[in-house]
Structure 1
């Protein structure tokens, strides 16, 4: 069927009816806005993006004090995974739902959900409450980032989109940099709960800005299409992910690997994942991951690269603060050491965007960015209790440069390799891999950390009287390290260091896999206008 493109202005209502006549479909394309209008729309959305970024590194630096409050260091992974599972649940659905109800409505709901979840975290009195709040915040935070990306795809040509994505990641990088420092400082001054509570009025302001400013024209779709959204696929995927994480985090940590919990959850996760694939192929009318998209070599390679890179990055993000605090530094100082990583991400993302706009290519740039991530991740293996204080700054900056560039390059590769009407869907599908990678990264790192730590402590303290009680206490409460008998405190520190090096060895392996899968992407033309003509 012939397709004719019709441009529309983005200054009015955010719902526009496409014209149809005599078999001719008029695909509604938004008119490219002026730079001032574009800056206003994106700027208001990016307020929410910055807040979600702040929230992510607040938790990274507060993992130790929060787990100490609830005496739950052994289940530390769930503080990160709960948020990331929420992300994984919301991001696949964002593309379809915001095409039905509009991008602005989606952002308002996302900001509100993020705010409620953050408030619950600030008021939490037990581990269950804060995990629920983190999951709810993840639902909203994941949607904020995804929908802001969709709006950029709606309004900006592919060749220029790298710059917009770079600025988006610049905002995210600024937020992650401020978040660690801000969260650590508030914990030292007022307590960790205020790190969440102070965000709530700012999230309200971000929601108001979105309501009054973000008006993006979208194709008007029959609201009955909401029944076609792939809820069943999303539920089975999240169920598979949660079961897998539960078994992986509990095995060898909370219960033996041969326990009924592990032997039940891991096989069930495989069954639910197989069911998810069956639903996507045979049941869902509009699947969250259309399997035909994964037959596109670039989409598949970029998605796998996303997954492995996020596994590595989030393993590092959540365990570098543990290393810093093991050396005796405060949470504020731990947050300060995350700044180079955030700055590197911002610089890498923006630089990649400008380079792609200038040259119209991304493949060789992808290889270069992965050189940074692999080298940086490899250098982490050499951390020790006597490492110079400047060394982590340098390593995290190197990793950040590569990771920030990768985010922009992969998104550009995915979007350029599919038809325009599949952009939001392909982006949502790639976000599934990102969210899964982030969640798996934290959980794999936690499983390695807890199992190696347990073994190392028993090998060093096994002959000590009441060794079982001492080891249990140390693994549940980080602050107990300072109360350990000086005769074997060094053994405890060495055990923690062995576990951390094992974590960083795991993240290095994930970086290598990401670099390898990135080589399978193909170069596609980066068009200079929205209609791709």
Structure 2
């Protein structure tokens, strides 16, 4: 495996062979005011290689960390509020859309923020996302389920920018050599938001009512917007400033066709994944229609991006570069595997070991510390060594061993193993996210770092959704086939047998409520189905590890001016 360090990947060598010339043209394409973004002549030297003085950098970075925290918090804050809100608004039938609306808009719009920020500037776009986030939370305080769902969708638009633009802006301000450490802390804040969202929602509801769980986020989002307005600055020549010209000139540079096709394709795909196997059957015409529509939209998007005279909303041509494609595939398959075991290990605890939610929650806490340690640790390693390929190899070994450990789960495992079961995989996943992000950014000039970040978020968003959807189909199919095989041989009464199978498919905790003479058989069925699902998780991670072997190592610069 070639691991030659590209001493200066941003310089264009026009003496390369014809095979490489297309790649060179891609990386040297003109882009208005920041045509030579890597030749920034700002004040980074006096700031120790950073784009801002340290005192102002602390304020901006802290604000960006809170952006990541808020976006994650709002994604999970409704986990303990769904039934409360639905009951208060007399709308149990639409309860799931309270959570789905935010996740749909957030995931679908994440990929387009990179290119839009290249045109309009990062600062104005991030402040705009904070406004959308605050507005969405404000609308969620309405007394109508329709408005709550609309508010969640609007908040998701803002939340998508809070996560994506945070990552992009940090790359504009922080040298690549130190970038991994800052990304590690960003991931930790995001993980903290995910972990505390449900607790925050429950506590606020108990003391003030569920509407305040949304309302209290509004002033915080506004304070963030004000802080960023006065403190966020970019050095002269930075791609974070956006392209020059008046608003109409900038608007003319937006690839509206590509943006519409991409967002529509993602919305249709994510909708299919969200309702498939739950509200509609996988074999139903609506589900098949949504899948075919998403394939058509993505195919049209790829064609349109290949023929557009504008700079594409996502530079698909970058995927011809080995490191970009390998990093994207690594992210995609790792994420599919990780989200699968994150959903189905708790189901194993419920259905096979009969644990309550408190016990399960306690066993998931170490995973949060593992993800924080893995991300920050990867950043510290890259800061000290300036390399990441060997780290990716070690992470791959840890991921495979960790998933094998999860796959070997059984009802008799010790408490120590239960509490540490997800720890190795949490370390590996958070570490690979940080390492692959650095590999993506380092493989292209600074003027393309927003585009590659968008590519990363696109693969992660679709990977998580597809992982959950495919694993759900595997679980349901495996469980149904096993139940149909075991239960009729134990229960002679056909009506009773059908009744037990029906309820076992509807509730993973049914084994503890079923007649005693079938409880052992039901737990065996659940265990079989979960193990099949975890095998899918393991296969995904192995493919992700294989893809990571093709990542090439590039230089992690110690200054935002990559010529130094």
TM-score (norm 1): 0.82
Is the aligned partner of 1:216 residue 2:266? no
Equivalent residues in 2 for 1:4-403, closer than 5 Å: 31=44, 32-56=51-75, 83-115=102-134, 135-179=153-197, 190=206, 194=210, 197-198=212-213, 200-202=215-217, 204-213=219-228, 214-217=231-234, 218-219=241-242, 221-222=244-245, 223-224=247-248, 225-244=250-269, 258-283=283-308, 285-326=310-351, 327-403=353-429
Q: CA deviation at 1:410?
A: 0.6
2:17 is matched with: none
Equivalent residues of 1:237, 1:276 under 8 A apart: yes
How many residue pairs are counted as aligned between the two chains?
Answer: 511
Deviations 1:333-368 (A, max 9, x none): 433322211211111111111111111111110111
Q: Structure 1 regions of 5+ residues with no counterpart?
A: 4-16
Aligned: 1:502 with 2:532? yes
Go from structure 1 to structure 2 and tell me whether the alpha carbon gap of 1:259 and 1:179 turns closer, same or farther (over 3 Å shift).
Answer: closer
State how far apart, in whole Å, the 1-side matches of 2:549 and 2:40 are. 35
CA distance in 2: counterparts of 1:71 and 1:317, whole angstroms: 26
Which sits farther off after the overlay, 440-449 or 329-338? Answer: 329-338
Q: Which residue of 1 aligns with 2:470?
A: 444
Aligned partners of 1:72 and 1:501: how far apart in 2? 32
The secondary structure found in structure 2 opposite 1:487 is: helix
Residues 378 and 115 (structure 1), Cα distance of their counterparts in 2 relative to 1, 3 Å cut: farther
Contact kept, 8 Å, 1:61 with 1:331, in 2: the verdict is no
CA RMSD of aligned residues (A): 3.9
Structure 1 Cα separation of the partners of residues 408 and 80 of structure 2: 22
Task: Provide the C-alpha distance between the structure 2 equivalents of 1:254 and 1:330, rounded to a whole number of angstroms.
Answer: 26
CA–CA distance in structure 2, aligned partners of residues 496 and 303 of structure 1: 33
Q: Is this contact kept in 1: 2:273–2:469, CA < 8 A?
A: yes
- Deviation at 1:297? 0.7
Mark the structure with the bigger radius of gyration: 2
> TM-score normalized by structure 2?
0.78
1:461 Cα offset (Å): 3.2
Q: For structure 1, which segment, 97-106 or 350-359, has the greater mean C-alpha deviation from structure 2 after superposition?
A: 97-106
Q: Is the 8 A contact 1:312 1:510 kept in 2?
A: yes
- CA 1:257–1:446: 2 relative to 1, 3 Å: closer
* Structure 2 residue ranges without an equivalent (≥5): 1-10, 13-31, 45-50, 235-240
CA distance 1:413–1:66, change in 2 (3 Å)? farther
1:272/1:297 Cα in 2 relative to 1: closer, same or farther (>3 Å)?
Answer: same
CA distance in structure 1 between the aligned counterparts of 2:399 and 2:508, rounded to whole angstroms: 29
